[in-house]
Amino acid sequence: MKYITLFSVISSVGAFTANLPRHCSSTALKSLDGAHSEMETFERAVYCAEHFGTCPIEQMEQLAKELEDLNGSYFEDTNEDRVKNNKPMIKKEIEDRQDVADVLKKQGELRLRMYYLKNANLFAHRVHSMEDAYPEGN
C-alpha cells in the first residue's frame, strides 16, 4: 500500500512543474549565481535608453552588447491580425531591439565626448578664456 501511495505522489509531481513561457529560452533565467534574467536586461536597457545620463557608461555598453548578442524574437504577438503573418513583427522587434542598443552606445559616446569637451578640449577652454577676458563682447 505504501508503494502505491508513493508511486501516485511521484507520478503527479509533473503537474506542479513550472514550464517556461514559449517566448523565453531555457537559458533566460540565470538565478543560480544571482545573475539577472533577460527580461531584467530588457527593462534596464530600455530604462537607460529613455533616461539620458542616469546609467553608468559601462553598464550601457554591457547592456548594448547583451542586446546585440541576442537572436530571434522574445515576445509573442497576441494581436490576432498580426499572428497570422508574424514574420514582419519578429523582424521589427529585432530591429527595434538593435535600435535600443544603438541608443545606449551613442548615449555613452556622447557622454564621454561631453566630458572631454568640459575637461580637456583646448578650443572650448580658449573660448571660455576669451569670454572671461572680454565679457562685454557677448
Q: What's the pLDDT score for residue 24?
A: 36
Residue 90 to residues 1, 2, 23, 46, 116: CA-CA distances in angstroms? 54, 52, 12, 18, 39
pLDDT in tens, the chain (138 residues): 554 544 454 444 444 333 333 333 333 333 333 446 889 999 999 999 999 999 999 999 999 999 999 988 887 666 654 555 556 788 889 999 999 999 999 999 999 999 999 999 999 999 999 998 898 765
CB 73 within 8 A of CB 93: yes
pLDDT of residue 30: 38
pLDDT value of residue 92:
87
Cβ proximity of 100 and 46 under 8 Å: yes
Residue whose grid cell is 533566460: 28
User: Collapsing DSSP states into helix, strand and coil, what is residue 63?
Assistant: helix
